[in-house]
Structure 1
Amino acid sequence: MVTACNQLFQVSHRTSYRYSVPVSLSHHVLHLTPRSCMNQICHSTTLKISPIPTARGSGQDYYGNPVDFITLQHQHKELVMDARSVIEVLPRPVPKASITPAWDSIYVNLSRDTSEEGLEAIQYAFESPQTRTTDDIRAYARKSFPVGRPVLEGALDLTQRINREFTFDTTATTVSTPVEDVLRTRRGVCQDFAHLQIACLRALQLPARYVSGYILTHPPEGRDKLVGADASHAWLSVWCQEDGWVDLDPTNDVAVALEHITLAWGREYSDISPVSGAIFGGGAHSIQVGVDVNPLEQDN
């Protein structure tokens, strides 16, 4: 039974690769099944793959995300992966920012915490290849974190500054653009803004993790929603000690709520990219991705 305050969604995520010459062998790791977590239940996922893989398996990655492994050992010039999921999103209580612990106490306390939760959180306090710390990044972060400021107050202020001072531009970056370039040009997409805020937080030894997923989009007034017009989305979580992880979306300047659907989380995008792997052959290739997020009627 879905309660009235929860939201039920159907998500379709279709990815197509087309190759100029046949691929004779390929191995892929897929993060296309949304994870169940404290604020979300993944009721079902159907993952159809064409051509049918020679071998296929599933499990969990290091971060606890569902993952599928496929191998194709026959020639193919196209690979299509179609994931369809039903997900229930639960309300996410956001603690009062002013009473969260001082940011400069977080790492000190966490370094003494031997609980499973503490040991899991502290690994996100350190930089990763896509969230390198620089003096400029640290200086940008410190503007939101004067000594003793409550951690969530500082994180929300940083979220607002990135939203206000950076321009969303799909042509400005690629998946490999360094975060210091994003800071310099002040342009990018949701992935870049999430990486930048994570790099800022980790520059101050604050644990932060990268979250990939989906967000419900609303068409302009008077227009129908276009099929396949939605897209994958990215945001971050910041560790607030007793209050746990709080999810923030700098692209939209919001604390994550009922219209955000979590797919996976890790240190950065490369840990949880929807499709990764290696191919033999293929030549030039093109990729098409279509995402649809639709609310479902709830049973009373």
Structure 2
Amino acid sequence: RDRAGEPVRLLAVPFYHDATDEVAGAAVAVGDPERGAAEHRSLVLSLVVGTGALTALAALTGHVLSARSMRPAWEALEQQERLLADAAHELRTPVAVMRGSVEVAAGAPGGLEAHLPRIRRAADRMADVVENLLTRGRLEAAVDVVRAEPLRLDQLVEEVCAELPEGGHGLESRWEESVVEADAALVRVAVRNLLDNAVRHGGGPGAPDRAELLVTVRGPEVWVADRGPGVDPARLPELMERFGSPGGGTGIGLSLVRRIAEAHRGSLTVRARPGGGAEFVLRLAPARSRR
């Protein structure tokens, strides 16, 4: 330390006599240590700041990567929860109908035979619900969604119309030969849901239990018209939400039709039918021209 008590840095190096090689003296250098101390403090500060920045960057990167990696898992979990909610909501009614019919039949004089038609209808509805739920799960999972191949749309619609249960409904059909590129299984579900919706809500004012249907295939479009109370086009988004269908519908029928249409680069629209009723139009992508 100097006379003022401040630290100084000293460096002494001996020098030698040329003739005798004996120590002749020493060269002493005096330096201020403040410059080295400032550089040391700057180095320490840089290391602290740099380490903190690297730690924060590593934490942020880990958070982003973990969020991205967990997002598919969360989406899959949400899809599973929606599917379970749909299943619980949709299967509750047919199960209750079947259970009630069996309990009534157990003590009825006519036995089970008198209640078999009701049980059969409930079983058919349950089968439709299960198929709709599986199709919805397939679409939401986006796993091999659309297996598009050339499809005779008019023949498929004709087959679905032939599968309608007999119930005294009027069915008029107009087929035009039509080829589209679509997934036959998905289109079959969509057309059947449209027909079921028309049968359920397509009764006229004088005969609410008898639906008058007109099914038309024109190009890549399927038209299903009825004589029911009609649908306000502004309410179509509401009806195509889960559980948005009133009057005892499956709740996901129209929403599933819309999802299938969008998966085929198409659309689902509704309009007022001249003379009363509603016309649902399912449009698919037309087949590509092949050379």
TM-score (normalizing by structure 2): 0.23
Which is richer in strand? 1
Which has the larger helix fraction? 2
Higher relative contact order (CA 8 A, sep 6+): 1
Normalised by the length of structure 1, the TM-score is 0.23
* Bigger Rg over Cα: 2
